[in-house]
Amino acid sequence: MKNPFHVMIIPTLGCPGQCKYCWSSDENSPRMTLDTIDDIVRWLKPLDEQRVTFTFHGGEPLLAGAEFYRQALQKIAEGLPHLSPEFAMQTNLWLMTDELAEILAKYHVPLGSSIDGPKELTDYQRGEGYYERCLEGYKIAVNHGLLVRFICTFTNSSVKKKEAIVNFFKEQGWVMKLHPALPSLKGDNPNAWTLAPEEYGDLLVYLLDEAVTHADDIEIMNINDLCRCVFTRSGSVCTYADCMGTTFAIGPDGEIYPCYRFIGMPEWVMGHVRDAPSIESLMNSHAGKRMLAYKDFVDTACKDCSHITYCRGGCPYNAIAPTGGTLIGVDPHCIAYKRIFDEITTRMNDEMNAAPTMSRVSRVKRQQKPGVMGLIKKIVEE
Ligand code: SF4
Ligand code: SF4
């Protein structure tokens, strides 16, 4: 996590795209007004001095338009100087214009976008024409000096082409951020595209091999994060940390939720920014209590797992949103997390415990798989 305290702003759940596995868009969604931004500023004013990241997410956040961002970014930056606001945005880039890019560049807003691999594969999963429109926006953003990184969603279909996808990212010279397709809580067939936890685990090990073997050709953010977790024994992204109480998402009408993933689910509303609720009262709401209950649940359910200090039971949304808040287990991706954390730990220990007097040839023979310490050294240096 860039900063421990994270506020996600969702100007709308509307989106012009038609990605097949999307679970968050809603064409009837309202648009956030600047009054809500004023409320957000007023709500956060009493926070103690600290660095806070504000991420604009959706739906498609660029639907809010240039005037919204010109004023919203200024209001937050000037209204909350004690929070040293840092901004980010997740967008499909279709609606990027020179005017928008100029405004975002003024506030150094890094952009996350989404491309799932080569054009044909991306358009198959995200709809005809997605790739070209995304690339058009990408060029505008880059021309204005904006940093753009791509999330690559792996589905149960695209995972079969993982080699081609990784090669594509290498050829483009793009940093990859992996996202496993999640079950949709809105459609009739929730698991149509879902990546099964076992497949996700296999994929992470494959990507670890790629990242350490071709460290000069490809950077995979998730692999860096996972290595960092094991090496420092603390979580560095929200999935591998307790996000409750430090992450909040604001919906288009100003409702406060535990995270953008819960937006549009009335049972997960914690409060409203117009009431400027304290963090304590948000965590005392029904939704807040259910998030905290998950934290306690993890302390028991994962107590015998050697990765508990940095995994923390994975993502609460994955664990409790599909069950309506009932605690029946940890994040179903546990299988994948265990697999990759075990893999990194074993390789790291093997390398660190290799006798220093052993010849290089013997060390290479003993080391059946590519080592991870080189990658960790690179991450630390960077
Ligand atoms: S609910 Fe999941 S995605 Fe949301 S902040 Fe927490 S860990 Fe991250
Ligand atoms: S790997 Fe599984 S058991 Fe271990 S802390 Fe993570 S979710 Fe819990």
**Measured between alpha carbons, how far is 224 from 229 in angstroms, rounded to an integer?**
9
Count of residues in the chain: 382
- Ligand 1 neighbours by CB, cut-off 6 Å: 238-239, 243, 247, 259, 261, 315-317
User: The tokens of 270 are what?
Assistant: 């914690």
Average pLDDT over residues 184-207: 86
Mind listing the pLDDT tens digit for each residue in 343-378? 999 999 988 887 565 555 555 555 556 678 888 888
When pLDDT is cut at 50, 70 and 90, the band that residue 382 belongs to is confident
210 near 220, Cβ under 8 Å? yes
Quick one: DSSP state of residue 240? G
- Residues of the chain with pLDDT > 90: what percent? 77
- Nearest bound ligand to the CA of residue 230: 2
Average pLDDT over residues 171-187: 86
- Nearest bound ligand to the CA of residue 201: 2
Average pLDDT over residues 218-238: 93
Q: Is the pLDDT of residue 329 over 80?
A: yes
**Measured between alpha carbons, how far is 161 from 188 in angstroms, rounded to an integer?**
26
Quick one: DSSP state of residue 304? T
Of 178, 182, 247, 310, the one to substitute when testing ligand 1's pocket (max ligand atoms within 8 A of C-beta) is 247
Q: Which atom of ligand 1 is nearest to the CA of 239?
A: 7
**Measured between alpha carbons, how far is 75 from 38 in angstroms, rounded to an integer?**
7
Weakest mean pLDDT among 36-40, 88-92, 263-267:
263-267
Q: Hey, what amino acid is at 214?
A: H
Three-class SS state of 256: strand
311 lines ligand 2 (CB under 6 A): yes
User: What local confidence, expressed as pLDDT, does residue 355 receive?
Assistant: 55
Of 238, 290, 295, the one to substitute when testing ligand 1's pocket (max ligand atoms within 8 A of C-beta) is 238
Mind listing the pLDDT tens digit for each residue in 121-162? 999 999 999 999 999 999 999 999 999 999 999 999 999 999
When pLDDT is cut at 50, 70 and 90, the band that residue 14 belongs to is confident
Weakest mean pLDDT among 54-63, 148-157, 289-298, 373-382:
373-382
- Residues of the chain with pLDDT > 70: what percent? 93
CA distances from 350 to 52, 67, 310, 361, 372 (A): 39, 55, 21, 15, 10
Mind listing the pLDDT tens digit for each residue in 20-50? 777 666 777 889 999 999 999 999 999 999 9
Whole-number Å distance, alpha carbon 232 to ligand 2 midpoint, is 17
Average pLDDT over residues 103-119: 97
Q: Hey, what amino acid is at 277?
A: P
Instruction: Give DSSP secondary structure letters for 164-192.
Output: HHHHHHHHHTPPEEEEEPPPPSSSSSTTS
User: What local confidence, expressed as pLDDT, does residue 182 receive?
Assistant: 86
Residue 99, H or E segment = helix 98-106
